[in-house]
Structure formats: C-alpha cells, structure tokens
Amino acid sequence: MTGEDRHVLEELLAAQARREPVALAVIIRDQGSVPRHAGTKMLVYGDGRTLGTIGGGEMEARVVAAAAEALRDGRTRLVPYSLVDPQRGDPGVCGGQVEIYVEPYVALPTLYVLGCGHVGRALVSLGHWLGYRVVAWDDRPELATAENVPDADARLSGPLADALAIQPIDARTYVAVVTRNVGLDRELLPQLLATPAAFIGVMGSRRRWQETRRQLLADGLPADSLTRVNAPIGLEINAESPAEIAVSIIAQIIMAQRGGDGRPMAIPAATPEEAASSM
C-alpha cells in the first residue's frame, strides 16, 4: 500500500467518525496504457471535493459524478472507461481501459431515544442490536447511565438543548419520545420539531396525544408542524410488555426508513369465487 492510499483510507475512517458522507473510488482493473493502475484509490466527499486521484481528466470527472449518485441512493457503482480521446480530457492518447468501483459510505442512522424508563431501555437495546447508532437521553441523570442503558452509544441528561448541542439531530436521525408525561412532551417537542429529524414519534395513548397537541397549539406551535409527529408511536400489534412495545416502535421506524407500508407479506388465500374465475 502506498502512502497516498494509506492517507485516503485514514481520511475515510476520519470522515466516518465525523459522520460525513464520502465515497471511495478504487481502480479494480486496468488494461493497456493507463495513468493509474489497479488498487489506486480516491475519496469523493459529498460537496464534490476529492482526495487522491485515479488519473484526472474526463474519467475522474465521471467517477466524481458517479460517487455523487452513489451517496444519494446508497448503492455501489462500477464505472468502466476507455482512455482514447484527448479532446474530452483523457490524459494523453493512452488507449487503455480501466474499471473503477465506487462505494458510498454514509453515516449510520441514529436512533435518538428520549426517555430511559422501561420502554426506553428496551428500545435502546433493540436499536443497538439492529445496527443503529443509539443516543439515549433522560432528564433524570440517574437513568441516563451505563448501568441502565448499557447499549447506548451516547448517554445524555440535563436540558434537551444542551444534549442537542452535544449530539445534534440530522436528517438520518429517528426520534422516539418515550417519556412519562404530557408536560415533558410539551417541553421537548418544539425543540425536536426545529430539527431536520427523519422521524419523530411520541409514545402514549391517543387521549394523551390529543391533550399534548392541544397544549402545544395553545403555546402557539403551528398546526402544520405537528403533522410531522407520529403519535401514538408504533404499529398496532397489541403489544403489552416494554419489549413488545419497543418492537412495535422500531417496526414503524424501519417502515419509515425503508418506505414500507406495514401490510402483511403473506398473500391472502383466494376465495372459491376468485379461484373459479381464474380457471
């Protein structure tokens, strides 16, 4: 491995630690006369900046464009290229061919759990098991601890504004508000609605949410903003235990993340009439 390649890989890890989306481009095959050979690496940032080079010219520009697409849809790309035309920016009349593999590295989605009681603990554990980066917050310091929520990647307490300054909510964050009363939800939701969170859900009965909503509207919160809130949070599976409630919540979050519709996957059996009409 060259020093340049090592630098590219080190910066890839650093970008992931910063939760900055990047794409790694690697020449995986070369044939004939080419400026760079198999194994050469380049990093492409979300804003179009690059680190390293796979040969410059039109070829590199095409790979940067492919990297931007990969960061948008999260899918890898194979970019074949023939270096035959100096008029379009090929570095000399090389005449060779290369194939570049482009792999996006986007930040892990974050599950932000507000409330570390029974349901919150179960949700933190389930979110960790599913591969989310999990942030746990509770206004009670004695609950936001490693002993109570050992599977959280970050544990926060105190004012929510301070927590959001330490662990900001971005567009890949899914928020589950599983707190203990209307008063706390009334305090938290205006701050959460000011973020670009991908999903905000609030636990509780329909009556509890109606009262929370009434108080928020009385506080002057625009009604349109409350359409972002999923309440009561979770899919209806007749859950009872904290673990079952956590399953219903995470199922709705996955559905929102993946664009699902929550319908059963099984195909209903045809009625006798339908079976007869198909003959």
pLDDT tens digits, one per residue of 217-276: 999 999 999 999 999 999 999 999 999 999 999 999 999 999 999 988 887 666 666 656
In terms of Cβ atoms closer than 10 Å to its own Cβ (0-12, 13-18, 19+), residue 54 is: buried
User: Which whole number is the average pLDDT over 74-78?
Assistant: 91
Residue 275, pLDDT score = 58
Of 27, 9, 11, nearest in space to 63 by CA: 27
Residues 129 and 238 in one domain: yes
Q: Which of 105, 131, 147 is a domain's end point?
A: 105
Question: pLDDT > 70: what percent of the chain?
Answer: 91
Please count the CA atoms within 13 angstroms of the CA of 177 that sit on its side-chain side.
Answer: 28
Answer with the one of 105, 127, 144 that is the final residue of a domain: 105
- Spatial distance between the Cα atoms of 230 and 199, rounded to a whole number of angstroms: 8
Note whether 78 and 93 are same-domain residues: yes
- What pTM did the predictor assign? 0.76
Same structural domain, 78 and 136: no
In a domain, 273, yes or no: no
Q: Are residues 13 and 46 in the same domain?
A: yes
Sign of CA dihedral 157, 128, 111, 235: negative
Domain that holds residue 236: 110-258
Q: Kindly state the DSSP code that residue 106 receives in the 8-state scheme.
A: P
pLDDT at 46 over 60: yes
Boundary-marking domain end, from 105, 137, 163 = 105
3-state secondary structure (DSSP) of residue 237 = coil
Whether 68 maps to a domain, the answer reads yes
- Domain total in the chain: 2
Phi-psi region of 68 (alpha: psi -120 to 50; beta: other; left: phi over 0): alpha
Distance, CA of 226 to CA of 208 (rounded, Å): 15
pLDDT digits (tens, 9 = 90+) for 125-164: 999 999 999 999 999 999 999 999 999 999 999 999 999 9
Q: Is residue 202 part of a domain?
A: yes
Asked if residue 169 belongs to a domain, the reply is yes
Identify which has the larger pLDDT, 31 or 134.
134
* One domain, residues 199 and 247: yes
> Are 145 and 202 members of one domain?
yes
Q: Do 98 and 185 reside in the same domain of the chain?
A: no
